Amino acid sequence: MTDDMAEALRGAERRLQAAQLAGDADALDDLLDDRLIYTGGPNGGRYSKSDDLELQRTRRQVLTKVAEEDLTVLVEGCTGVTWFRGTLEGTFDGTEFSARLSFTRTWIHSPDSGWRVIAAHASPTP
């Protein structure tokens, strides 16, 4: 079962990346837990699920590239962690950016909603 859960988590991570690239707030709404805390962004701030969804709906952040270089997945029971390294490009508040980043995301699983991100952190990667 752990291998199946790990593959399901890998799939959820890749759906998250696709939703970010598409600016699909509805898909992100399904993949992000209501209690989400994200640390990172251009100013290293702390953000909620509603902050993230607002960025998508207002198009303040528009991604034109999400290129995964590496993805590691760990599952223990109903908790999972993904480590993503890759390049993101797009605009934030109208300013173009390109950054190589590492994301650590903590996911929780429930039979009703599947895998959802509850905590995330991003940092620049040389």
Strands 95-110 and 61-76: unpaired
| pLDDT-flagged residues of the chain (< 70) | 1, 42
Predicted confidence at residue 70, as pLDDT, reads 97
Say how far residue 119 (Cα) sits from the centre of its chain. 9
Number of folded domains that form the chain: 1
Predicted confidence at residue 1, as pLDDT, reads 52
Predicted confidence at residue 2, as pLDDT, reads 72
Range 70-73 contact pairs with CB under 8 angstroms and sequence separation of 24 or more:
71/10, 71/13, 71/14, 73/6, 73/9, 73/10, 73/13
Please give the model's pTM, rounded to 2 decimal places.
0.93
Measure the CA–CA gap between 32 and 114, rounded to whole angstroms.
11
Predicted confidence at residue 117, as pLDDT, reads 98
What is the residue range of 40's domain?
2-124
Predicted confidence at residue 126, as pLDDT, reads 87
Measure the CA–CA gap between 96 and 8, rounded to whole angstroms.
33
Predicted confidence at residue 105, as pLDDT, reads 98
CATH label of the domain that carries residue 20: 3.10.450.50
- DSSP, collapsed to helix, strand or coil, labels residue 119 as strand
